[in-house]
Amino acid sequence: MFIGHFAPAFAACAITNEAPKLGTLFIAAQLVDWAFMAFFMVGIEQARIEPGITVMSPLDLYHMPYTHSLLGTAVFAVGFAAVVGITFRNAVAATWTAIVVMSHWVLDLFVHRPDLTLAGGDEKLGWGLWNYPWIEIPLELGITLGAFIWFMRATKGPIVPPLILIGFMLVFQLVSWFGPQPTEYSIALPLTALFAFGFLTALAYWVGTTRWHRNEVGLGVASPPLW
């Protein structure tokens, strides 16, 4: 799953004006993948290219105890939530940050082959929807577009920035699904992923500066916060 991970970020912004702005929640949504790519490049966590290991992805993610265990994800969630809560002195914002970080593991559980763990042990979990693209593709598009529409209806502001964001999200996802798959490891693999995360997050920060929740009034509308 790629853009589907951003659905909880859109949803949190739609639910309450006390959630962090969209850019912060985009970081939260992919925080453990940011960490995995960094750990992967320096050898702390391990993956390899195994063409055909699943229908939709050639990645064998065989060693991810720190970023893709339930315990590891919870540590990242608590840590990032603490940063948000302390920075903005808002416990509600911190709570939504933690929820969005934790959503990553739950969504991965649906699509990964058994390569997720509870606490880095030998038991591996994953329901394997990457082997069933006729289920995974509509599911990912459905939750992403559904959450995006919810966000748009719950917020006010110019329509062009969010349309640019969702447009790039869909283009990146289509390339991921239908573009050529790697047959051997290259440093370009994690670097490309980090570029995609960073580019979409930058667009999300831009969107967050142009829209405000419908529940905001007065100064909240005239000068929406940038976080």
66: Cβ contacts below 8 Å, ≥ 6 apart: 35, 39, 44, 45, 72, 120
Task: Give the pLDDT band (50/70/90) at residue 216.
Answer: confident
Q: Which amino acid is at 150?
A: W
Closest by CA position to 148, among listed 11, 5, 30 = 11
pLDDT tens digits along 138-154: 999 999 999 999 999 99
Angle at 12 between CA 10 and CA 14, to 5 degrees: 70
* Domain ranges (residues) in the chain: 3-212
pTM of the model: 0.93
Q: For helices 31-42 and 91-111, what crossing angle results, to 10°?
A: 60
pLDDT tens digits along 160-203: 999 999 999 999 999 999 999 999 989 999 999 999 999 999 99
CA dihedral 130→104→205→224, nearest 10 degrees, is 130
